[in-house]
Amino acid sequence: MPTILGQNQYGKAENRVVKITRDGATHHIKDLNVSVALSGDMEEVHYSGSNANVLPTDTTKNTVFAFAKEHGIESAEQFGIHLARHFVTSQEPIQRARIRIEEYAWERIGTSDANSKFIGADDVKHSFVRKGQEVRVSQITYDGEKWEVISGLKDLTVMNSTNSEFWGYVKDKYTTLQEAYDRILATSVSGRWRFNWTDDEQKMPNWEKSYEQVKKHMLHAFAETYSLSLQQTMYQMGSRIINNRSEIDEVRFSLPNKHHFLVDLEPFGLKNDTADGAVYFAADRPYGLIEATILRDGCEARIPVDMTNL
Ligand SMILES: O=c1[nH]c(=O)c2[nH]c(=O)[nH]c2[nH]1
């Protein structure tokens, strides 16, 4: 044979597993991206195509989700150790397992300086904001007479682990979506807001304070709205800003609906029920994209509909 097989490994990469643990009304999130790489006696599958030693990558994916439900996720390390031990000890041909895990950190809305002021302790049990700074953006336009200032943010990722439903929608012959009475609602907020300040230097808004307040009202509305759709939540977020910040006349949002699907663990004899803490598959695409402008009554819409370049 003119060639021989060198190092090889296989497995399912990037299993996006989200485990919610319910401690009464207080929820806890573990949000991981788990990649499995197995190696061992795998010559034959490469040389002849015999799969006799191959545990399917699909099975490694199922194992990740089933273990999250059956054993919980105490820490990424503990979870990885458990998985690696399982693959190596349960499958004779597998001699090495490498589990790589990225963990995404979440903090409760209301617990950090940036978002605490308006939210009482009762509101933060199931509403989370992903750790890390959002990107703050602004656009300033001047024609020699008047100013137009638009501020905003992107990549502010938030999640409600309950208090979200979606049902009563139109059903046609292509509809397969099941109605949801207790789902995860998550989005990465991209928002822009337009100031009504145009020229009076004396009445210039305090831009820093305004930004912090807008962000707080946005998070507050997200956390407090019992949601029947992302559209409804989004409108509440915009209204709350307009109603509390007199310097702003217009808000536009572009909100990807970051879908979290309940994993079917029935085949493994596991009940995966929202009521007692469930395991979800966090899908990255496709995603619903929900967008709208919310205006102060009587004001004109000027923020571009497509604000990706803004
Ligand atoms: O909040 C939602 N709004 C929708 O318009 C929609 N469509 C869908 O499939 N899921 C959802 N969720």
Active site residues: 12, 57, 259
Predicted confidence (pLDDT) per residue in 249-296, tens digit: 999 999 999 999 999 999 999 999 999 899 999 999 999 999 999 999
Report helix angle 207-224 to 230-244, nearest 10.
140
Q: Is the CB of 166 under 6 A from ligand 1?
A: yes
ipTM score for this prediction: 0.99
125-150 average pLDDT score: 94
Q: How far is the CA of 289 from the centre of ligand 1 (A)?
A: 9
Distance CA 250, CA 241 (A): 9
Q: For ligand 1, atom 8, name the residue with the nearest CA.
A: 288
**What is residue 110's predicted lDDT score, i.e. its pLDDT?**
81
**What is residue 267's predicted lDDT score, i.e. its pLDDT?**
97
Q: Is the CB of 186 under 6 A from ligand 1?
A: no
pLDDT band at 180 (very low <50, low <70, confident <90, very high): very high
User: Which residue do the tokens 């190596």 mark?
Assistant: 88
Predicted confidence (pLDDT) per residue in 142-166, tens digit: 999 999 999 999 999 999 999 999 9
Distance CA 108, CA 259 (A): 20
Q: Is it the case that residue 111 has pLDDT exceeding 80? A: no
Residue from 158, 169, 232, 255 to probe ligand 1 pocket by mutation (most atoms less than 8 Å from CB) = 169
Predicted confidence (pLDDT) per residue in 163-173, tens digit: 999 999 999 99
**What is residue 308's predicted lDDT score, i.e. its pLDDT?**
74
Q: Is the CB of 164 under 6 A from ligand 1?
A: no
Rg (CA), the chain: 24
Closest atom of ligand 1 to 177 CA is 9
57 assigned binding-site residue:
yes
Distance CA 30, CA 18 (A): 6
Q: Is the CB of 283 under 6 A from ligand 1?
A: no
Q: Is it the case that residue 239 has pLDDT exceeding 70? A: yes
240 assigned binding-site residue:
no
Q: Give the 3-state secondary structure of residue 111.
A: coil
143 assigned binding-site residue:
no
